[in-house]
């Protein structure tokens, strides 16, 4: 009786993901928004952005669609594309989802941490430490975003990482435009970041998870809806 090889070769082989022009355009626009060079509520005109970036309108249009999917910009028939204006409700919703995902992700990163530690997180924390005067809140918020991403991106789950990236965009924008304007908590956040990083560097996943959960919850308490009178 003939023996057949039932092992099937996949029709297509995976390819390495390349950074596309759309990715580069989206990254440039995202950085401009989070650094405050483009303000909340500002209208984004494809033609103008294309001229400034030296590209055609197609990658700009694709980048804006991606940024709309992440929640950083909004697209409407009447106003076109505008930078999202966040309020406490928006930021609270983003923080609630972070509370579900980020402690787990940081714990995973702590378990996977190499003996050399987490150098990217350590560098981002050092950058944040130099900005604690509060004179440049946008730069501090971006340093905090880099710190968080350097931790949770080591969790080993790219789906969780991608979702947290979008949430951190909203968090970085909301920290400057909403949270820190009413509650200047960046020094307390820095101290909490230090403790989280020490736990993660030590490979203490349980402690890193507990500290991250407490850290995100603390922000949530400020954003809780006011009690009904």
pLDDT tens column, 54-98 = 999 999 999 999 999 989 999 988 889 999 999 999 999 999 999
CATH of domain 88-223: 1.20.120.530
Using pLDDT thresholds of 50, 70 and 90, give the confidence band for residue 114: confident
Tokens of 177: 């435009």
21-83, CATH topology level = Arc Repressor Mutant, subunit A (1.10.10)
- The domains of the chain are located at 21-83, 88-223
Sheet holding 73-76, edge to edge: 43-44, 80-83, 73-76
The mean pLDDT of 132-136, rounded to a whole number, is: 93
Q: Determine how many CB atoms are found less than 10 A away from the CB of residue 147.
A: 25
Q: For the residues 143-154, what does the mean pLDDT come to?
A: 96
The Cβ of residue 177 has, within 10 Å, a number of other Cβ atoms equal to 20
């Amino acid at each position: 009786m003939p023996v057949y090889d039932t092992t099937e070769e996949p029709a297509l082989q995976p390819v390495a993901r390349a950074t596309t022009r759309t990715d580069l355009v989206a990254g440039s626009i995202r950085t401009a928004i989070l650094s405050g060079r483009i303000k909340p509520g500002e209208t984004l005109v494809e033609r103008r952005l294309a001229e400034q970036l030296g590209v055609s309108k197609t990658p700009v249009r694709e980048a804006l669609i991606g940024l709309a999917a992440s929640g950083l910009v909004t697209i409407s028939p009447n106003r076109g594309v505008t930078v999202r204006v966040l309020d406490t409700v928006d930021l609270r919703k983003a923080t609630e989802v972070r509370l579900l995902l980020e402690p787990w992700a940081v714990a995973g990163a702590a378990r996977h941490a190499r003996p050399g530690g987490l150098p990217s997180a350590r560098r981002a924390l050092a950058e944040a430490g130099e900005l604690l005067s509060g004179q440049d809140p946008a730069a501090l918020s971006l340093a905090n975003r880099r710190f968080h991403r350097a931790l949770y991106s080591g969790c080993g789950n790219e789906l969780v990482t991608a979702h947290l990236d979008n949430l951190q965009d909203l968090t970085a924008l909301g920290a400057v435009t909403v949270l820190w304007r009413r509650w200047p908590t960046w020094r307390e956040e820095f101290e909490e970041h230090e403790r989280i990083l020490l736990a993660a560097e030590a490979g203490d996943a349980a402690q890193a998870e507990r500290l991250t959960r407490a850290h995100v919850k603390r922000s949530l308490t400020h954003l809780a809806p006011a009690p009904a009178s």
